[in-house]
Structure 1
Amino acid sequence: MRTDVRNCRPWRITAKTTASRLLAVALALAAGGAQAGMYRWVDGNGRVQYSDTPPTTFQTSGGVEMSKQGNVVRRTQSEAERRAEAERVAEQKRVAKIQQRQAQLDRALMSTYTSEAEIDLARDRALEHHKLAIKGARIRAETVERNLAELRARIAGIEKAGRPVGPGLKDQLAQAGRESADLAHTVDSNEEAMTKVREKYAADKARFRELTGQP
């Protein structure tokens, strides 16, 4: 039997290449078969379901993809789980923002004051501005009230005499009334501001004690 030496080597190369490709395909199929498993999810009635194919709601209802050995390969969250996760992350960010803000306030507090006496001094300076505003408004209010009383008396005398009250006098009365109301508002708003100032510096003192470890 004769062998064609010239064609022998190419044939061997072709056979070897084909065999390698078939082996690669077989290994790929075997690997795919080994990885193929089951899907587990909860249906709309709350029952746990299993299938070798995922349901159409797998991406929205959530579930678990498992290997044949029962190991979890992939997990998908339901819409409710994704919402809960988003809320949890948002809450974490909110808390972190509050903590960051508090840390900034603490640094500012400790860099501004070295004792509680300094905090009291700063409070008194802040209150003084409002005290002066209230004092000035009350002094002016006394003058305005006297003017109002005089205007009302004049108008009453004119009306008693049966004469018409002139528009100028009415305008003066209206203007004095508006000024009296504005002055009362000035007093009230500054008193409210003083309350807030006291609350702020009281909170600063309490926080200062916490940061410095004072009882």
Structure 2
Amino acid sequence: MNNPIRPDAVLVQAVIAGALSFAHLHDLAAAAGQTGWKAWAYPVSVDLLLVAAWRRLRSDGPSRLAWCWFLVALVASLGANVATAGFLDLAHPPGWLRFGVAGWPALAFLGGTLLAHSPTPHQASVDRVPEPEPVTATRAPEPAPEPEPLPLAEPPAALPEAAPAPDVEAPAALVAHARRLADDHQARTGIPIDRDTLRSRLGVPAPMADAITAQLT
């Protein structure tokens, strides 16, 4: 079911105020020499610019452009209403009034064009193409410095002749372990391992160390 049309007091008031303002603008334009359809076009131009600026303010938020043209259209509308209240002799309008009415179409055209085609802050942020990040040349890693050659080790001094080993028999596993220690010592220091060092590494008594040293040599 269609809802019945109910009169709205605010809407009725807006229609009455708009009709009065429209008539005042028409009378002012006609008094300034704009006759015929031109006098009727002036109220439409002023009211449309006022509505366009207000819509821009409501939809896109406050901006200097929208506020500027809203105030221009508001001053034109209020000026026309006040001028027709007897403050001016419309039978003999002054020159500045004729000048303003004649220049209004160009001014309204400029305002309407700027309001229609100026990008909003949201559109400006969307249309802005992000600038490419500067490409920084990656520096190739410098080659690691070659290790300096180790100085040649002096030839190892001859081991002192071992005293005749006592009659001690070293286990084969212990001898194999001692050989690994001797080889490691030779590789690290460049000299053969001596008896005292071998003894301390193995933790064996002196006779056992002598027997193992004799087997290593």
Instruction: Give the TM-score taking structure 2 as reference length.
Output: 0.24
Largest Rg, 1 or 2: 2
Quick check: which one's helix share is greater?
1
Instruction: Compute the TM-score of the two structures, normalised by the length of structure 1.
Output: 0.24
